[in-house]
A = this chain, B = another copy of it.
Amino acid sequence: MSDAHLKEDAIGSELLFKGNFLHAQRDTVRLPDGHTATREYVIHPGAVVVVPLLDDGRVVLERQFRYPIGHVMIEFPAGKLDAGEAPRVCGQRELLEETGYSAREWAYAGVMHLAVAYSTEIIHLYFARGLSLGERQLDQGEFLDVFTATRAELAGWCRDGSVTDAKTLTCALWLQNVLSGAWPLDWQTAAGADGPR
């Protein structure tokens, strides 16, 4: 199916602002009917989220205060890509920094887009297993708790509103289908080279 009747083409672009963290742009686009409109959106470097599976079937989670939301949230470990960093390397780095865990095996699951109307953000989703615990190395100014939960506890929290972070809810969809056998993963040792399809 052609998407010409839906597609918007850029005809101009200006910087909206560049903050310490946020970087936003306003583009002028030609709509499918020939009219023009503006699109304002955040430029994001991309991120990685990791579902760490312990040998006893529990998962590793974090509790972190999220200022825009105004409360502590339950999330899987995640972090932004450094410039030029491969997603799996980012996942390994963030998992170690935030939780202290290293994983013997990694599996790439897929990607998600977070706020499709106003952000370029893409998140690469990995599973990790064969975990061993070392020392975590939080960034300065980073405060978060690490804890573990059973898959039933996590599912209950997704249902009752204790988990509302969309990337973590998406991880829960994957986890449920991976553990049921419906969505098998292609596991690779940590030394092996791989990446997003």
Contact = CB atoms under 8 A, between A and B. Distances in A.
Given A26-B19, A69-B120, A120-B69, A158 B173 contact: yes
B113 A6 contact: no
A35 B140 CA distance: 10
Given A169-B173, A170-B166, A115 B115 contact: yes
Q: Which of A113, A165, A167 neighbours the largest number of chain B CB atoms within 10 Å of its CB?
A: A113
Interface residues of A, number: 71
A22 B3 contact: no
Contacts of A158: 173
Interface stretch (A51-59, A81-89, A97-105, A141-149): A141-149
Interface stretch (A37-45, A127-135, A186-194): A37-45
Per assembly, the copies of the chain total: 2
A111 B69 CA distance: 12
Contacts of A39: 21, 67-68
Contacts of A182: 155
Interface in A158-174: 158-159, 161, 164-167, 169-170, 172-173
Given A17-B17, A32-B143, A169-B112, A7 B65 contact: yes
Nearest to A20: B38
Interface string A3-20: 101111000000011011
Closest 7 CB pairs of A and B: A173-B173, A41-B68, A166-B166, A66-B116, A22-B40, A169-B170, A6-B65
7 contacts: A20-B40, A32-B143, A66-B116, A115-B121, A158-B173, A159-B177, A166-B167
